[in-house]
Chains A and B, each alone.
Chain A
Amino acid sequence: MASRPLRTTEARVVRLPTSLRSVDSRRAPAEAPELWVGAHIRSLGSATLEKLATRVQRFTPRVSLVPPDGLLLEVKGSLHLFDGLEGLLREFQSDCRTLGAESATALAPTPLAALVAARFGEPFAVTNKAQLIGRLTAMPLAPLRWPEDVVERLARMGVRTIGQTLRLPRAGFARRFGPEHLAELDRLTGRNADLRHHFQPRERFRRRRELTYEMENNDTILAALAPMLTDLGRFLELRQAGITELECRLRHRHAPPSVCLLRLAAPQANVARLTELLGERLNALVLPEPVRSCELRSGLPVLRELTSNPLWQPGEYGGASAGSESSQLLERLRSRLGYEAVYGLQVLQGHRPERAWATCEPMVASAPGPASPTTNGAAGSSRTDALAPRGAGDAVAVGIAAAGQRVPWAAFRRPLWLLPTPELLEELDGVPRRRGALRFFGDVERIETGWWDGGEIGRDYYTAFDLYGVQLWIFRERADPHRWFLHGVFG
């Protein structure tokens, strides 16, 4: 029994060199805990840095992006898998070439040193921290990419290389050139740790299914999509995410594929809801031919914020505001009627009636409604930012919560309904008529404005009742033909 632990120690001792040898021990003893390959991408070609990073993640999971043109890979653990450094770099270069990018690489125990050496462009492979400073000494300052005035001031002092910079007194250097540059030098030489964010590829869900026979019926197509939707649910559940976009592509024998795009107001991960919405969309779709295969593609997964269910029913006194219900309603309406079919309203500054309002994205925020009209001045101005005006308006959107006070001409009467475009009225002896004579009522209001942006109007607005007691808002042009138009109905 006593000899047993001894044997295990022996075993350990024996095993140690083998594990060391796996880390390319032919070149240098691997003393540094990390080995970084820095890549300076000279030209990206058609690729993007993200694409490249996704590709080179096969070498190591620890890939960092240094925009706009740098990549860092921590390769210590994976060198032996690719037949040492030469093998790995060869594969790396061939990956870059496949994507149409050109790069220069370097190996160093610290990420910054690897990157700087790669930017410098001469062959550089250091695996030992002790040798690092010696190899960096002769390098100029340019690859560090410090601000020009710093480099210039250093050059005026006669400091042109990294080695000379490292020899400067630390305190004085920090005082003159800023502590951030000193910290960078420390990270370069490995004196301080250099923490990098690992690149995480953006994932999307994508599944395709060939159907065993051609399908025409929307319900059977939805049934064929069901297993893929279940997969999607699992995919989202694993990532605690929801999606705001789902595309369903149905391929036919001859006709171009039918696409059905689902856009959601809030991230959704519930498969039943997604199936229901997709079903609505499919019902509205007219298929030119039977479907041979179908494909599901998701938009970017969005991290979901999970909340508990409220105790009260929405709308009950003291109950939760109906945030989720209203976003669900919005999605349901839009999935059937189309995206543009549902909109909100907002007030714009300006006197021209056509440009005094605009449509906007409806609010589905679960924020409580405006409090009393006397206290919501600040709330109103902050809420304006959340609304992106869609229509071209005169100027800025008025704070809507406070719009009750801030409509500029609330003193005048305005109709509740506006015609999309003014309707020309027939005339009899210079008096307008609409389905009979009109009875004028009240004062005239002149609106003459808009000369600065080409949308000039000059109109005299009247109110009039028609024969049926409908109150109309009509105007007469100030300019020459002096025609009469109907522009609004008071309701």
Chain B
Amino acid sequence: MAPNSALARLLEHPGIWRGTSVARTEVLSSGFAALDERLPGGGWPRNGLIEILTPRFGVGELPLFLPVLAALTSAPMARSAVWVSPPLEPFAPALAAHGVALERVLVVRAPAALKSGALWAFEQSLVSGACDFVMAWDQRPRPKQIRRLQLAAEQGRALGVLFRPLQAARESSHAALRMVVEPSELGVRVNLLKSKGGVRGTVDLNLTAAGS
């Protein structure tokens, strides 16, 4: 015990920085205990960009964020939750049934004629300071733009989620968290590709247990 406590005391020294506690002061519980255990700091980062890679749209990536969406929108000082160019119409009754406060939800659809309008809207929403949570679908940002998005999210104190196809896993990314979401027997299998100050690995989640 004695060497252990000595080590613990040593580690309390302010000059020592450890990987697992790297400057992430605020986190949001994901609503899934198994996932919270794996995520650095015990939840989604409060400010920053998360990249979700899926083999196909609709494999269970959105239910992953419903608990945090419900918690953020119904908080007393809630800011907006923006959906940037979702592929289909978000079904309001289902969102409401999951506890999402719809008055905080804002849907943005960039006209198809405007090139990279959605990416611009994503960045503007992140940086504005008016949003708690911003989601965007199927954009093709370059690595440099992802870095901009990550900085914008930190500046605007927002959590950004970018849904991308699985093929993008090969590209490098500045996102704070990168994970692959695939369907599994129970619900979804989450594979953490990159997490700042966390461990990589795979988690199986039961969506029906926490979702409804």
A440 within 8 A of B: no
B96 in contact (CB, < 8 A): yes
Are A489 and B79 neighbours in the complex by a CB distance under 8 Å? no
Smallest CB separation, A436 vs chain B (Å): 12
9-residue interface stretch from A155-163, A240-248, A361-369: A361-369
| Size of A's binding interface in residues, CB under 8 A | 64
Q: Shortest distance in angstroms between B165's beta carbon and chain A's nearest beta carbon? A: 13
B197 on interface, CB distance cutoff 8 Å: no
B195 at the interface (CB under 8 A from A): no
Residues of chain A within 8 A (CB-CB) of B117 are: 336-337
A414 contacts B97, C-beta separation under 8 Å: yes
Chain B positions within 8 Å of A49 at CB level: none
Contact assessment for A326 and B80 in the assembled complex, using a CB-CB cutoff below 8 Å: yes
B88 touches A420 (CB 8 A): yes
B58 to chain A, nearest CB (A): 4
Q: Mark B129-159, 1 if CB is under 8 A from A, else 0.
A: 1111000000000000000000000000110
Residues on A with C-beta less than 8 A from B86 are 417
Interchain CB contact under 8 A, B96 and A416: no
Interface window among B10-18, B37-45, B120-128: B120-128
Task: Report yes or no: B59 in contact with A470, Cβ–Cβ below 8 A.
Answer: yes
Residues of A within 8 A of B158 (CB): 315
Contacts of B121 in A (CB 8 A): 333, 336-337
Would you call B199 an interface residue if the criterion is a C-beta within 8 Å of the partner chain's C-beta atoms?
no
Residue of B nearest to A410 (CB): B97
Could you say which residues of chain B place their CB within 8 Å of the CB of A369? 73-78, 101, 103-104
In this complex, the member of B56, B92, B95, B129 whose beta carbon has the largest number of chain A beta carbons within 10 angstroms is B92
B57 surroundings in chain A (CB, below 8 A): 470, 489
A454 part of interface (Cβ distance < 8 Å): no
Cα distance A400–B73 in the bound complex, in angstroms: 12
Provide the residues of chain B in CB contact with A475, threshold 8 Å.
none
Give the shortest distance, in Å, between A279 (CB) and chain B (any CB): 14
Cβ of B1 within 8 Å of any chain A Cβ, yes or no, is no
Which stretch of A78-86, A144-152, A293-301, A338-346 is in the interface? A338-346
B96 contact from A322, A404, A470, Cβ within 8 A: A404
Contact present for B99 and A404 (CB under 8 Å): yes
A215 within 8 A of B: no
Which residue of A has the minimal Cβ distance to B109? A341
Within 8 A of A (CB), among B51-94: 55-63, 66, 73-80, 86-94
Contact check: which of A319, A363, A401, A491 meets B77 at CB < 8 Å?
A319
Residues of B within 8 A of A43 (CB): none
Return the contact of A341 from the options B99, B104, B111 (Cβ within 8 A).
Answer: B111
- Verify if A218 is at the interface (C-beta below 8 Å from B): no
Query: B108: CB under 8 A from chain A?
Result: yes
A452 adjacent to chain B (CB < 8 Å): no
Contact B88 A315 (CB under 8 A): no
B95-A416 in contact (CB<8A): yes
Complex-state Cα separation, A46 to B103, whole angstroms: 44
A415: CB under 8 A from chain B? yes
CA distance A470 to B63 in the complex (A): 12
**Does A371 reach chain B (CB closer than 8 Å)?**
yes
A371 and B76 form a contact (CB under 8 A): yes
Residues of B within 8 A of A469 (CB): 56, 59-60, 182-184
The chain B residue with its CB closest to the CB of A383 is B103
Closest Cβ neighbor of B156 among chain A residues: A315
In the complex, the chain B residue whose C-beta lies closest to that of A323 is B130
Report yes or no: B73 in contact with A414, Cβ–Cβ below 8 A.
Answer: no
CA distance A222 to B183 in the complex (A): 52
Nearest Cβ on chain A to B178's Cβ, whole angstroms: 20
Of residues A336, A337, A371, which shows the largest number of chain B Cβ atoms within 10 Å of its Cβ? A337
Q: A314-B129, A325-B130, A329-B131 are in contact. Are A490 and B58 (CB under 8 A)?
A: yes
Q: Does A29 contact B (CB under 8 A)?
A: no
13 contacts between A and B (CB under 8 A): A314-B79, A326-B131, A329-B128, A342-B108, A343-B107, A403-B96, A407-B96, A415-B94, A416-B62, A416-B63, A417-B89, A418-B89, A471-B60
